[in-house]
C-alpha cells in the first residue's frame, strides 16, 4: 500500500518496465538460441541468464567458449564489457542514498541499460522514485530476460544454426539501437565527441589487428576510445 499519494509502488515499477520488454524478449531469445548452438545445454544457457544477466556478456561467453579461450580471458573480457554498470550504479545511487544498504545492493545488482534509462528519465523528471518502484522495474526485466533465454535455448534444440535466421546479428542490432538513442536529440558538441571516440576505436582496431591478437586489439582499442571520450568531455 502507498503511505502517501506521492509514493510509488512495486506495481508501478512493473508497469514502467513494460515498454522495454520487447527488447529483452528479442535479444534474450537470440542469446538463448546462439548459446544452444554453441553446444551449451538448456540448463547452462538458463544459468548464464540467471548469474551473468547481460546480453553482450552472454554472447561473448558463448563466442569465446567456441574458440577455447582461457577462462581468465573470458572473465576479464566480461568484466570489461560490464564495467559500465559501475558508472550506471553511481549515477543512480544519489536518488536512493536515504534507503538501506540492502535495498541499494538489490537495485544495483539488477540494473541494466534499459532499466537505468527508465530510472534516470524518472529521476530527471523529478519523479519520487523509491526501492519498491525500482525493484518492480528491475525484477520484471530480470524475470523476462531469464524466460526469454530459456525459450531461445528450447528453440535452439530445433534451430542448430541461428545465423541462417539472422539471430547472431541480434546483439549488433541492439547496440545500433542504443547508439541511435544516445545520439538522437543530443547536443551537437556531445555527438562530435562520441564520433571522435568511435573513430579512435575504429582506427586503433584496424592498426592493432595487424600487430596483436584480435582479443587484445579489441581490449586496447576499447580503452583508447574510453580515454578519448573522457578527455573530450573534460575539455568541453
Give the pLDDT confidence score for residue 30 in this predicted structure.
85
Q: Which three cell numbers stand for residue 196?
A: 571522435
On the question of pLDDT at 180 being above 50, the answer is yes
Give the pLDDT confidence score for residue 12 in this predicted structure.
92
211-218: long-range contacts at Cβ-Cβ below 8 A with a sequence spacing of 24 or more? 215/69, 215/73, 215/77
Domain ranges of the chain: 10-184, 185-236
Least confident range of 16-20, 140-144, 204-208: 204-208
The region, left, alpha or beta by phi > 0 then psi within -120 to 50, assigned to residue 185 is left
On the question of pLDDT at 187 being above 60, the answer is no
Highest mean pLDDT among 95-104, 170-179, 222-231: 95-104
More confident position, 184 or 70: 70
Give the pLDDT confidence score for residue 167 in this predicted structure.
57
DSSP string of 144-168, one letter each residue: HHHHHHHHHHHHHTT-S-GGGGTGG
Report the residue count for the chain: 236
What's the whole-number mean pLDDT along residues 4-13?
79
Give the pLDDT confidence score for residue 75 in this predicted structure.
85
Give the pLDDT confidence score for residue 43 in this predicted structure.
93
On the question of pLDDT at 236 being above 70, the answer is no
Are the CB atoms for 134 and 10 separated by under 8 Å? no
CA distance to 100, 138, 172, 186, 202, per residue, from 108 (Å): 12, 9, 25, 26, 31
Q: Which three cell numbers stand for residue 81?
A: 564489457
Give the pLDDT confidence score for residue 3 in this predicted structure.
47
More confident position, 204 or 190: 204
Give the pLDDT confidence score for residue 85 in this predicted structure.
81
Report the percent of the chain where pLDDT is more than 90: 23
Q: How far apart are CA 13 and CA 30, in angstroms?
A: 26
Give the pLDDT confidence score for residue 1 in this predicted structure.
41
Q: What is the pTM of this model?
A: 0.70
Highest mean pLDDT among 116-130, 177-191, 207-221: 116-130
Are the CB atoms for 29 and 152 separated by under 8 Å? yes
What's the whole-number mean pLDDT along residues 74-85?
80
Amino acid at each position: 500500500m502507498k503511505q502517501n499519494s506521492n509514493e510509488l509502488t512495486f506495481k508501478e515499477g512493473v508497469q514502467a518496465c513494460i515498454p522495454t520488454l520487447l527488447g529483452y524478449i528479442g535479444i534474450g531469445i537470440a542469446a538463448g538460441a546462439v548459446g544452444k548452438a554453441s553446444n551449451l545445454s538448456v540448463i547452462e544457457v538458463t544459468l548464464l541468464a540467471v548469474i551473468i544477466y547481460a546480453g553482450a556478456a552472454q554472447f561473448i561467453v558463448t563466442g569465446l567458449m567456441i574458440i577455447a579461450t582461457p577462462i581468465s580471458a573470458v572473465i576479464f573480457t566480461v568484466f570489461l564489457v560490464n564495467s559500465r554498470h559501475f558508472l550506471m550504479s553511481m549515477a543512480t545511487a544519489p536518488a536512493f542514498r536515504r534507503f538501506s544498504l540492502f535495498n541499494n545492493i538489490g537495485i544495483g545488482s539488477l540494473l541494466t541499460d534499459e532499466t537505468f534509462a527508465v530510472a534516470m528519465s524518472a529521476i530527471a523528471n523529478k519523479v519520487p522514485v523509491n526501492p519498491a518502484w525500482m525493484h518492480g522495474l528491475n525484477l520484471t526485466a530480470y524475470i523476462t530476460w531469464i524466460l526469454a533465454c530459456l525459450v531461445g535455448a528450447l528453440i535452439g534444440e530445433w534451430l542448430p544454426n541461428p545465423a541462417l535466421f539472422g539471430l547472431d546479428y541480434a546483439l549488433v542490432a541492439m547496440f545500433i539501437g542504443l547508439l541511435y538513442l544516445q545520439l538522437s536529440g543530443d547536443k551537437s558538441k556531445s555527438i562530435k565527441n562520441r564520433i571522435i571516440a568511435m573513430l579512435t576505436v575504429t582506427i586503433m582496431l584496424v592498426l592493432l589487428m595487424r600487430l596483436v591478437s584480435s582479443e587484445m586489439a579489441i581490449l586496447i582499442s576499447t580503452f583508447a576510445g574510453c580515454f578519448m571520450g573522457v578527455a573530450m568531455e573534460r575539455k568541453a
